[in-house]
Structure 1
Amino acid sequence: MKSFFIAWKDFKVRATDKRGFTMMLIMPIILTMILGAALKDIMGGEEEFQQTSVGLYVAKKDQMAELLRRDVLEKTQFITVKLVDSEEKLKKMVKAGDLEVGISIPADWSAHLEEAVLFTDKDKQLKAAVIESIITAFTDRVQSISTASQAVMADLATAHSSSANRGNSGQTTENIMKALAGSGEEPIEITKQSIGVKQVSSMQYYAAAMLAMFLLYNVTLGAKSVIQEHHTETLARLNSTPISKWDIVLGKFLGTLYFAFIQFLLFYIVTAMLLKVNWGENHWEVVAIGFTYSVAVAGLSMLLAAYITQEKTADLISGIGIQVFAIIGGSMLPIHSFPDWFKGIAAFVPNNWALTSFLDIMSGVGWGGLLLPLFVLGAIGGLSLLIGAWRLRGRYV
């Protein structure tokens, strides 16, 4: 019970520090707003693929070009097709912004299936790449059908040349051709899929990333609190009271845990209400990860306090060490953009476990997918507390 009074005292000291409050709550919210908005176009969001206006110019009336327009482009939900009567007009419309992507099909396209020419603005490269992939898929399918048809026709001609029943040859060939051609009339569909059920937006990503990074600062704050009270002989005075050494260490641990968890709750509520960040459908999953991560952070603060003796060392770790952990853990740049060997290193930092767990919840992962990170974060906090308490009992308390 006495440890709770020590914890409450530590919590009040940090909560009434205006500079600390600004650093631990206002700054991560501001950074979330800036990074989430700045990288929105790069990282995407929860919206469907945007509607794309496509201009189509056909140099000479062509059966395959007509099939591409009618049965592929116009049947793709996000594409709006507009016919253009000249290539020069097509270029001008794309340059003026009236069309996002222009397709120019050369004469006799059916005979050679030469590559169609695409025109687009430099800011629409992604949409142009999608349209190009659709055309490539269409031409590959047509060529496959053509090759198969020629092979079947050759086999049928050989077979029926020696058969008395030649009357059904034309009908058989016609049926096969219809079946092959019918397979090329299916519209091409493009779907997006993320690891969970939903795709995570840039605002969601950086809300989780900033939360994971700034909660990590509590490791150095908790350690500095122990060192400061040792230098001011506060711990010595506590030792002269009936309070046990375990109560003192547990109180310092709980003080950091209180502050980290309250910081998490405030950030969670503010970003959800003001920034409209969708943290997922199950709020209890978010709270469970937030609490377990706070336990890990508080435990690490006791471990750090047990191995350093100067506040300057804690400040150095806060200024450089936390930034290194943030980079490794994916708080600065999305972890998926790094090579595999770097991702392996990220598994050894606690903020990466917290960040990936928050992202998993946002994308729709259930409790089953959170059991491992909950165990890992809890183990980090528990083991760090035990090792730190064992050393602190002999050094400071």
Structure 2
Amino acid sequence: MSMFTIAWKDIRIRLNDRKSFITLLLMPIILTAILGSALSGAFSENGSLPELTAGVVVNKQDDLADRFLHDTLQGKELKDSIILKKYKTEAALRNAIEEGKVDAGLVIPDGWGEGIMKGGTVPVKLFKDPGKDIQYSILSTITESFTKRVTTVSAATRTVGQELSSAVPVSSQNIDLSATMKDLSEKLTDIADSKENGVTTQKGGKEPLSGMQYYAAAMGAMFILFNTTMGAKMVIQERNTDTLARLMISPIRHSSIIGGKFLGTFSFTVLQFTVFVMTTHYIFGVNWGSNIAQLILVGVAYSVSVSGLAMMLAGFMTEEKTVDSIGGIGVQVLALLGGSMIPLASFPESMQQFASIAPNKWALGGFLDIMNGASWDTLILPVTVLVLIGLASLWIGSLKLKLR
């Protein structure tokens, strides 16, 4: 029972701390209201693609290039999302990108269409504005999809033609080879012209996330992370007042003391998360998803991670001011890195990969997945990472506290 007594004592101290209450309970709610309302326009709440201004250079015109530009990039599904600008040279296209006139560029080389039809590879050149990764990815995906489809159908056409050619001499049937190949060629043209070669903007049964939903999850993940510094400061305060030393020499087991401090931070974190979710749902109408069990699982896993990090921070730090400065800056950096301030999709690919070190990135991703109706399998990775971070940090922190 000693562990639970220590935990309950820490929870009561935290609840009586007005500064802690304002920082960890009221501030995330206020910021969610401000950011969710002010920045909701940055999210695609109508299910459409973000606008893309694409610059194109066609070194030599051919039928396939025309169909790609006019029937795919400017087809029915994409004409409202993609603005096409043509340039005469690659240098002119590069200058347009540097000047911010276009988001991404495409250079179609000589023999592109003929090469695809013959099964050859004449790759296009793609250019991007470093700050427009999403638009570049859209143009790249559409181009790759169109190329693969036409290449596949073209290869099938040639294969059928070769089989027919070899079969004609020994066949008793009269096969009009030229008519058959013409029919296949027409089918190939139909496929290249089809809207299936474009990108449709259907919702797939799921409503896109609103700005209020995103920033509710983002602010919740960020402010829960502040419990690392709050939990660490409580341990350091007791160590500086010799309260922790007296506990260590008492009959209470070391594991019970460490477990109690961990459980105190964990319990307050769970309480903070619960209050935040309920408040944002009933006051702002935030939809946290239909599966409450999934939300509880990710919330508990994140609380384990944060509580473990608090113990590790307490093990390495000796002064409250140091925890306030280093911990505060660290939380802000992790918040930015993990997507709590700016959506991760706005970051370069390398930065998105590096963001995996931030626990709030995994928590935020889990919350957003739940809002989108994710399956349980989708949550295995973020939950596992968060729990491992918490347990590893708790183990390291307990070793350091034992030595002091």
- Given the two structures, how large is their TM-score scaled by the length of structure 2? 0.63
Instruction: Give the CA deviation at 1:14.
Output: 0.4
Q: Aligned pair in 2 of structure 1 residues 186, 350: CA closer, same or farther (>3 Å)? A: closer
Q: Is the 8 A contact 2:216 2:280 kept in 1?
A: yes
Bigger Rg, structure 1 or 2:
1
What's 1:358 paired with?
Answer: 367
Match of 1:256 among 265, 280, 289: 265
Counterpart of 1:277 in structure 2 is 286
CA distance in 2, matches of 1:186, 1:340: 31
1:364 partner SS: coil
Aligned counterpart, 1:139 = none
Assess if the C-alpha contact under 8 Å between 1:194 and 1:363 holds in 2. Answer: no
SS at match of 1:347: helix
SS in 2 for 1:376: helix
Structure 2 distance, partners of 1:327, 1:314, is: 19
After superposition, the C-alpha distances for 1:206-228 in whole angstroms (9 at most, x for unaligned) are 11111111011011111111110
Partner of 2:357: helix, strand, or coil?
Answer: coil
Report the 3-state secondary structure (helix = DSSP H, G, I; strand = E; otherwise coil) of the residue aligned with 1:361: helix
AA aligned opposite 2:334:
F
Task: Identify the match of residue 307 of structure 1 among 279, 303, 316.
Answer: 316
Q: Answer yes or no: is the 8 Å Cα contact 2:15–2:21 preserved in 1.
A: yes
Distance 1:16 1:260 in 2: 15
Count of matched residue positions in the alignment of Structure 1 and Structure 2: 287
Q: Report the residue type matching 1:385 in the other structure.
A: L
What pairs with 1:128-277 in structure 2 (closer than 5 Å)?
191-192=200-201, 197-277=206-286
Please show how residues 284-303 of structure 1 align to structure 2 within 5 Å.
284-303=293-312
1:186: Cα distance to partner? 8.6
Q: Can you list the C-alpha shifts for 1:311-370, whole angstroms capped at 9, x where unaligned? A: 111100233111111111111100010001111110011110101111111112110000
Answer whether contact 2:5 2:260 (CA < 8 A) is retained: yes
The match for 1:332 is: 341
Q: Aligned partners of 1:262 and 1:196: how far apart in 2? A: 33
Q: Does 1:378 align with 2:400?
A: no
Query: Which piece of structure 1 moves more, 382-391 or 180-189?
Result: 180-189
Q: Measured at CA, do residues 391 and 271 of structure 1 come closer, stay the same or move farther in structure 2, by a change above 3 Å?
A: same
Which amino acid counterpart does residue 8 of structure 1 have in structure 2? W
**In the alignment, residue 283 of structure 1 is paired with which amino acid?**
I
d(CA) in 2 for partners of 1:368 and 1:336?
23
Matched residues, percent identical?
Answer: 47
Q: Which runs of 5+ in 1 are unaligned?
A: 51-71, 80-132, 134-174
Cα distance change, pair 391–179 in 1 and its aligned pair in 2 (3 A) = closer
Whether the aligned pair in 1 keeps the contact of 2:47 and 2:207 (CA below 8 Å) is no
The residue identity in structure 2 corresponding to 1:16 is N
Task: State the distance in 2 between where 1:11 and 1:207 align.
Answer: 24
Is 2:15 aligned against 1:15?
Answer: yes
- Deviation track 1:42-79 (CA, whole Å, cap 9, x = no partner) reads 2132x4569xxxxxxxxxxxxxxxxxxxxx99x99xx9
Q: Distance in 1 between matches of 2:294 and 2:205?
A: 14
- Corresponding residue number in structure 2 for 1:369: 378
- Shift of the 10–42 alpha-carbon distance from structure 1 to 2, 3 Å rule, reads same
The DSSP-based 3-state class of the residue aligned with 1:200 is coil
Change beyond 3 A, Cα 1:387–1:48: closer
User: How far apart in 2 are the matches of 1:376 and 1:180?
Assistant: 47
TM superposition shift of 1:196: 9.5
Report if the CA contact (8 A) 1:198-1:362 is conserved: no
User: Which residue of structure 1 lines up, in the alignment, with residue 2 of structure 2?
Assistant: 2
Structure-1 separation of matches of 2:240 and 2:187: 86
- Whole-angstrom CA distance in 1 between matches of 2:382 and 2:292: 17
Root mean square deviation of aligned Cα: 3.6
What amino acid is the match of 1:393? K
Task: Give the whole-Å Cα distance in 1 for the aligned partners of 2:397 and 2:195.
Answer: 63
- Asked whether the equivalents of residues 196 and 365 of structure 1 are also in contact (C-alpha less than 8 Å), the reply is no
What is the identity, as a one-letter code, of the residue corresponding to 2:24? M
Rounded to whole Å, the distance in 2 between the matches of 1:325 and 1:255 is 23
Preserved contact between residue 4 and residue 254 of structure 1 (Cα < 8 Å): yes
Find the counterpart in structure 2 of residue 323 from structure 1.
332
**How far apart are 1:183 and its partner, in Å?**
9.4
Change (3 A) 1:30 1:183: same
Q: CA contact under 8 A between 2:218 and 2:341: conserved in structure 1?
A: yes
- Structure-1-length-normalised TM-score: 0.64
> CA 1:187 to 1:311, structure 2 compared with 1: closer, same or farther past 3 Å?
closer
2:363 and 2:205 map into 1 onto residues whose CA distance is: 16
Deviation by residue 1:138-175 (Cα, 9 ceiling, x = unmatched) = xxxxxxxxxxxxxxxxxxxxxxxxxxxxxxxxxxxxx9
Unpaired segments ≥5 residues, structure 2: 50-73, 81-138, 140-182
2: CA distance, partners of 1:181 / 1:327: 48
